Amino acid sequence: MNKRKKFSLLVLPGDGIGPEVMREALRVVEWVGQYAGVEFAINLGTVGGAAIDAYGTPIQDETIEEAKQVDAVLFGAVGGPRWEKLDFSLRPEIAILRLRRDLSLFANLRPVTVFDPLIETSTIKPEVIRNLDLVIVRECMGGLYFGEPRGIETMPDGQTRGFNTETYSTNEIERVARVAFDLARRRRRIVCSVEKANVTESGLVWRQVISKLHEREFEDIELRHMYADNCAMQLVRNPKQFDVIVTGNIFGDILSDLASMLTGSLGMLPSATIGSSTGDSFRPALYEPIHGSAPDIAGKGIANPMAQILSVAMMLRLSLDLEKEAELVEQACIQSLARGARTADLALAGEPALTTTEMGDAVLRELESLIT
């Protein structure tokens, strides 16, 4: 039984719709605190474009230090057109990359679950996605987004050349593969490893390392290999063949956005970014929706807060050992959808759409009804 009655959280809403969806997620955190009789000591921090404007840097060192101390970090989203002309090293997105790197958070777990009430919202046929439940484990500290060398240079003939390096080494592959195999042990015991071993050396090494690890430690799990382009196609054709997908940084980034549309909206997908576990729970760890700051709808009060609220559920489960409360939050989300709660991204033509706050209200109402 969980004995702890106090948890510290660092909350980083960020830019665009980040603060809008975070507001609703924090109402849920407050509700859980009262229901479970636990205290959440919440520190609010500034990251992304907001931090660039305030401090001239996407994330301050103090914020990184604080993130290392707390039980969990709840992150919104960063970025926007205002900061797009800055050098890469100064962009808002550096905030999330630095948090992952400095806290050694190498595995991003992205559950793709189709909730029954949203079957009609997806653009994919109901029979293809009904009861879909898969998890993408994306390596997020290496690969193309971190590989060196990288840069932009002028070639002798005056052309400009941009270059990045896709690189993976044994340890980087093994540690994320372990997360995927461990997860599969608690699920349907199938891991599909995704790369481009047919055309890239890093993909070939990825395949070889995972195969050897599988032989050594995880023979009870079925291991499949798939090229990333085929995986994109299979995710649309027959997504239920997957249980756990493990892949590198860039393929994970793209495939999980693709998979989000199976669920109906990018606004539905939460994620957890974890490092090595300490006992049964992950600390430090970072929880965030997979969507970005959505500048096209920011400030309108219409963003879907579900992905952020479901990220709270993942935090309760994976870092705070509050499983029962995590389930309550997930149930409340499903039930509010079942009763017709829809933000604009989920509403079908002609259906009324709720504001972000009204969607938060709907989830809180269901939380109350679940415990009475």
Which stretches of the chain bind ligand NAD, using CB under 6 A?
17, 21, 77-80, 93, 96, 266-267, 288, 291-297, 303-304, 307, 345
d(CA 104, CA 172): 11
What secondary structure does DSSP assign to 187-205, as a single string?
Answer: TTSEEEEEE-TTT-HHHHH
Smallest distance from ligand NAD to CB 171, Å: 25
Of 243 and 253, CB closest to ligand NAD: 253
Q: Which residues, in sequence order, are CB contacts of 129 under 8 Å at separation 6+?
A: 114, 119, 122, 239, 240, 262, 263
Q: Any catalytic annotation for residue 321?
A: no
Residue 131 falls in which region: left (phi positive, over 0), alpha (psi -120 to 50) or beta: left
Q: Any catalytic annotation for residue 229?
A: yes
Smallest distance from ligand NAD to CB 276, Å: 22
Is-contact 250 144, C-beta < 8 A?
A: yes
What secondary structure does DSSP assign to 10-74, as a single string?
Answer: EEEEESTTHHHHHHHHHHHHHHHHHHHT-EEEEEE---THHHHHHHSSSS-HHHHHHHHHSSEEE
Smallest distance from ligand NAD to CB 352, Å: 16
SS3 content of the chain, % helix, strand, coil (to 5): 45, 20, 35
Of 59 and 179, CB closest to ligand NAD: 59
Q: Any catalytic annotation for residue 257?
A: yes
Set 196, 227, 321, 345: catalytic member: 196
DSSP tag of 268: G
Helix (H) or strand (E) holding 109: strand 107-113
Q: Any catalytic annotation for residue 196?
A: yes
DSSP tag of 118: G
Of 214 and 291, CB closest to ligand NAD: 291
Residue 321 falls in which region: left (phi positive, over 0), alpha (psi -120 to 50) or beta: left
Residue-wise burial string across 233-244, b where 16 or more C-beta atoms lie within 10 A, e elsewhere:
ebbeeebeebbb
Set 15, 71, 243, 253: catalytic member: 253
Set 5, 61, 229, 324: catalytic member: 229
Of 109 and 177, CB closest to ligand NAD: 109
Set 145, 168, 227, 287: catalytic member: 145
Of 15 and 243, CB closest to ligand NAD: 15
Q: Residue 172, SS3?
A: helix
Q: Any catalytic annotation for residue 345?
A: no
Smallest distance from ligand NAD to CB 313, Å: 16
Smallest distance from ligand NAD to CB 293, Å: 4
Burial of 167 (0-12, 13-18, 19+ CB in 10 A): middle
Smallest distance from ligand NAD to CB 145, Å: 12
Is-contact 241 208, C-beta < 8 A?
A: no
Of 88 and 163, CB closest to ligand NAD: 88
Is-contact 234 226, C-beta < 8 A?
A: yes
Smallest distance from ligand NAD to CB 51, Å: 13
Of 304 and 319, CB closest to ligand NAD: 304
Set 102, 133, 182, 257: catalytic member: 257
- The catalytic site residues sit at 145, 196, 229, 253, 257
